Amino acid sequence: MTSTTDTNAPHDALSHDTFWADADRHLVRYGGEFCREVIDHASGSFVFTADGRRILDFTSGQMSAILGHAHPAIVETVQRQITTVSHLYSGMLSRPVVDLARRLAGTLPAPLEKALLLTTGAESNEAAIRMAKLVTGRHEIVSFARSWHGMTQAAASATYSAGRKGYGPGAPGNFAIPAPHAYRPDFTLPDGSHDWRRQLDFAFDLIDAQSTGSLAACIVEPILSSGGIIEPPPGYFAALRDKCRERGMLLILDEAQTGLCRTGTWYAFERDGVVPDILTLSKTLGAGLPLAAVVTSAEIEQAAHERGYLFFTTHVADPLVAAVGNTVLDVLAAERLDERAAELGGLLRDGLLDIQQRHPVVGDVRGRGLLAGIELDASYDTGTSTDLVGARITRRCLELGLHMNIVQLPGMGGVFRIAPPLTIGEDELSLGLEILDHAIDDVVGGR
């Protein structure tokens, strides 16, 4: 069957209605409905629609474009590298690949020094879990009950926030533990605060009861993003590492969204002083291009190699995106974007707290650096669920010129994820907060 559109016609000749007729007829829907805007181009902190609207991007694309859109250094690197070498046989090496591996190691504490360069977060988590299983000789994987690690088999089997129903059995030996959520604690101290130590002890009592004695690894995000911007308290990861060590498990940290300056430090795990056995990076590493990495110790890499570790994919160690990764590291360091994220993150948090003061529907403000979340208060009487209220606020934000991602999952629709580019200006940050404030007021009103 032929398309209803002349594929040789210029884009400006396509009507809005024809565009959406073609989209609705020919595209597979992969995560709900599409945003009904035709995006023409993007620059800096904004995306621009075909009909001339300017939309402030408070999600860095898919939580990835940490340098904004069309950053001149990224554009120059792509243009230069595409004319030399962009893709090779996977067993061949190029200078950008070796340079990026070396430079990544230079940003990380010992013993993390061996890197595998891939494309997506799911792929890097798949590779990390595969490595952990091979090195330990075990197969059981533990992750948070509100986790998101990707849509490939092992990564999806370790993902619990969505996508588990209707696809048949996951990989055997996957277990979930509760995420330490201070705003909604399931274990409390006498003063009502979250008793995360008792929660963690209870969780691993259940793991031990279910395990067949084949615990390989625990994979977690330092701050759960899709799960609702949930940040485990100080001390949690040290205790989790100890639980892993007691059982001979490896600790894998997934810094897809928190890595590379987003939280005010180069890596979110720096706050806790806990170095993972395996680190995965993605989204932020390519600043919007498909680049991911698995980083581990020489000891683990050697053990994996001796056991015949195989992760031979079409785009492993591609030169084009590796060159982009090197440029991302250049810009992050030159512009001191870790410090900028910490500074602007303080302004963002202050603005969100101000919104919370004036809108009782906002129950909690949380996050770190330029990764922030606000959760709507389910006890506030809006006459409907927080999922629906959240969807209406999100829709109103878009109408007013702000794209702000929301976790559109049942039971979590009332949590907004905010992650603007690290290069965003203070005036743009203020504009986003102003639009959000306006949208909440339009949907539910103030005091």
Q: Which of 81, 114, 148, 266 is catalytic?
A: 148
Tokens 């590291």 sit at which residue? 329
Give the list of residues 6+ apart from residue 35 with CB closer than 8 angstroms, or none.
398, 403
Give the chain's length.
Answer: 447
Query: Is-catalytic flag, 210?
Result: no
Rounded to the nearest 10°, the torsion over CA 78, 81, 87, 92 is -140
Are the C-beta atoms of residues 369 and 345 closer than 8 Å to each other? Answer: yes
Q: Which of 88, 242, 222, 181 is nearest to 375 (CA)?
A: 181
Q: Which of 221, 375, 387, 428 is catalytic?
A: 221
Q: Edge-to-edge strand order for the sheet containing 362-368?
A: 362-368, 371-376, 415-418
Query: Is-catalytic flag, 254?
Result: yes
Work out whether strand 250-254 and strand 278-281 pair parallel, antiparallel, or are unpaired. parallel
CA distance 322 to 326: 6
Query: Is-catalytic flag, 257?
Result: yes
Complete DSSP assignment for 66-112:
TT-BS-HHHHHHHHHHHTT-S---TT---HHHHHHHHHHHHHS-TTE
Complete DSSP assignment for 250-315:
EEEEE-TTTTTTTTSSSSGGGGTT---SEEEE-HHHHBTBS-EEEEEEHHHHHHHHHTT-----TT
Query: Is-catalytic flag, 417?
Result: yes
Class of residue 38 by CB neighbours under 10 A (exposed 0-12, middle 13-18, buried 19+): middle
Q: Which of 231, 241, 243, 257 is catalytic?
A: 257
CA distance 18 to 401: 24
Q: Which of 254, 301, 364, 375 is catalytic?
A: 254
Helix locations, 376-421, DSSP H: 386-400
Residue 111: asked if its preceding bond is cis (omega within 30°), the reply is: yes
Task: List active site positions.
Answer: 148, 221, 254, 257, 283, 417
